[in-house]
A and B are shown apart, each in its own frame.
Chain A
Amino acid sequence: MAELFHRKIERTAIGFVLAIIAAASVGGLVEIAPLFTIDDTVEDVADMRVYTPLELAGRDIYIREGCYACHSQMIRTLADEVDRYGPYSLAVESQYDHPMQWGSKRTGPDLARIGGKYSDVWHAMHMNNPRDVVPQSNMPGYPWLATTPLDISVLPAKLSAQRAVGVPYTDEMIANAARDAQGQATPDSDAAFEAMERYGEKTQVSAFDGITTQVTELDALIAYLQVLGQLTQAAYVDTAAPEAMPDEDPAGAPATQAEQ
């Protein structure tokens, strides 16, 4: 019977193709499909908010420049990573990330909790020329960001597209996207207060690059970097202790093997 079957799948290469698909697709299905029962994959937290239009624009610049090639945004559940970068990353923190930027290589440090670690001024100087603030750095400078105006006219369309892939932006947020971006980079303006009303009290309004007359790409990028790890406080509240290093048992980090 087996012979008959195989003679048949070989006679027509189509049968053979189907066999390849059958063999190859099962692994992906088994691993990926269950992840979409989302409640069990992604924690449910109340304070998780979406990116503001300015932060989203900044994220798009992060994507455009290919920052993932050198920076991760995923703190693993290992003691040294938690000590270095902060609480390990939760699934919920990248819930609204399309695409995710977890990365795979740390030529530079992890950025999952970079938000709030440095001042806006530090970031502005660092982006202009990293070696001005970190002499040993090998990161390229991005001086043109400070002089390139941000295209805020495209933001409503961007928010709509984000909503189409599942990010819960409201009609109001979409309609006011450009104004909110302007507002977030212009402290004490009416637009700034409106943006805070829409995106929450904790929305960081700042001059970011230090200049309020024009919203630049640098404003957007700094706004994004400053919100990394700040969209929800869930990770800072009640995460379990990190896993012990596999090869040792550092004092002070109780080895939780509960999940194994």
Chain B
Amino acid sequence: MLGRTANGIFWLFRYLERAENTVRLLDAGFRMALTRNVATSEEEWRSVIVTIGQRKAYEAKNGTYAGIQVFNWILRDRNNAESVLRMVESARTNARMVRAGLTREVWEAINETWMRLSDALARPVRETNLGDVLDLVRRQSTQVRGAMDGTMLRNEIYNFARLGKFIERADNTARILDVKYYVLLPAVSYVGSSLDNAQWDNVLRSVSAERAYRWLNAGRMDPRSIAEFLILDGRFPRSLAFCYSKISSNLASLARDYGNSMPCHVMLAQCEALVREGRIDEIFETGLHEFIGGFIARNQALAAQVQRDYRFTE
């Protein structure tokens, strides 16, 4: 396949994944804001903006952190080059570029996502229909996933798609943790208070993990096991460990297919060890923030190496 096609496929799925994760984050922020007074709810919206790395861009164009302003900025603002709408547009542009590498069903699911979202975001979003918009993105993402799963050949194209998706997902989960890590740090005065519980719950909600976590932890809510769950639990599909088990199997499949390993395969081993063999006590000893920072950097370096090894660009 063409290097440019591999690049297009890789980014198509990175953009889709990022759009979906942004929506999950918005959903958690919205819920949190509803249960807070104005001051703390603005604080919550600010943290959503910080998590997606847009504080500078947002503050350059907006004066306050009012909810309606924040979610319109994130979803559709023309001045925001990384709005959800723009991400879905970019995904769809990439899909057009690599059209011949996708099945008709996958292409139509992506194209339809873009068509519906453009319609839904043609006018400013209000609190009354925010839920519908967020729901639309989640449903459409599910549709793309289903079409991928049911119709795509398990070949190199599929592997590059999955690499894009899980590298992006690992990055997103790590960033959410990074912004919220202070919530998870032991702070004597707040331990056991209801505020803590709500904030911890919010960390889980940001990656749609609240239900899965409760299932596995039977009502126990403490920072250490939340962090452990999101970093190390290979059963949860948005955890770092899960993402890396997928990245590892897709890279292995490429190596088999091409008959040789690449520098990215060596690099993979290092990233994977972090989340496969890591122990939560050690992570807290070195510092959660330091751990996550190191992970994000290695994850990015791996993405760059994959792009070099498979000649994504000249």
Same assembly: no
